[in-house]
Amino acid sequence: RMEERALKEKVPPGISRREHVIKVVYEELTRFVGEKPVPIKIEPGKKQILMLVGIQGSGKTTAAAKLARYFQKKGLKPALICADTYRPGAYAQLQQLATRINLPIYGDPKAKDPVKVVSEGLKYFTDKDLIIVDTAGRHKEEQELIKEMKELEKKIKPDEVMLVIDGTIGQQALIQAKAFHDATPIGAILVTKLDGSARGGGALSAVAATGAPIKFIGTGEKTEDIEPFIPSRFVGRLLGMGDLETLL
């Protein structure tokens, strides 16, 4: 589409062909990642479950706390459940993050069955609007873990499954997003680590593989460093051109 538009469209008067090509690339990429921001619909007073999935080291646990903080600031009552029964210290890490922002957390560091942990956690949090479930980090090759993730999704029936992707992994995102999406339909994507030189090109591949919209991006280490995804702003940053929309 870019090629066709760049070669066939008549260049408007007053702008160079180069500027026109940049405009075409910008518009097509923005359309590709979703022209409008897609918010997560959370209704106060109604219990909703958000299940986070992703490979190890993608920043999932931090993302769980960031999302909880984001909705807490919006006046909702979120809570966290640690369903990672593999990684030593997973519960301690989430607990530390939760304590900092005064959030309730449920987990059992000795437990082996994540389905049981989540079921107990859901019974424990009866008065919360949003339950964020942090699952164990998976790799697309680990068939056992993928199987367990499917089972967890079937049992807890989350309102949304969100894939957390490391913005620095580039084209690898495509393979991972596809493997996860084949296991449990992904309803949203959160791209982490977009604070440094990583511009998140891999995120575009993930969108293509799953058809799921990017809903949030992580922009730093702190719990506050999360923002709703605004496609035009992201594409401007991706092309290294700041806020292109205003410029155009």
Residues 13-45: tens digit of each pLDDT = 988 999 899 889 988 988 888 777 777 777 777
What is the pTM assigned to this prediction? Answer: 0.85
pLDDT of residue 248 exceeding 70, the answer is no
Bridge partners for 131 per DSSP: 49, 79
193-241 residue pLDDT tens: 877 655 677 777 777 778 888 899 998 888 999 999 888 887 887 777 7
Could you tell me how far CA 100 lies from the centroid of its own chain? Answer: 22
pLDDT of residue 2 exceeding 90, the answer is yes
Angstrom CA distances, 41 to 35, 65, 71, 108, 183, stand at 18, 18, 11, 29, 23
pLDDT of residue 126 exceeding 60, the answer is yes
Residue appearing with tokens 């940053």 = 237
Q: What is the mean pLDDT of residues 117-143?
A: 88
| Amino acid at the residue 27 | E
Bridge partners for 191 per DSSP: 165, 217
Per-residue model confidence (pLDDT) at position 38: 74
Least confident span in 105-114, 121-130, 148-157, 203-212 = 203-212
Sort strands 214-218 and 226-228 into parallel, antiparallel or unpaired.
antiparallel
Per-residue model confidence (pLDDT) at position 71: 93
Query: Cα–Cα–Cα angle for 207, 211, 215, nearest 5°?
Result: 60
140-154 residue pLDDT tens: 667 777 888 888 999
Per-residue model confidence (pLDDT) at position 213: 85
pLDDT of residue 52 exceeding 90, the answer is yes
Q: What is the mean pLDDT of residues 166-173?
A: 81
Q: pLDDT-based confidence at 246, cuts 50/70/90? A: low
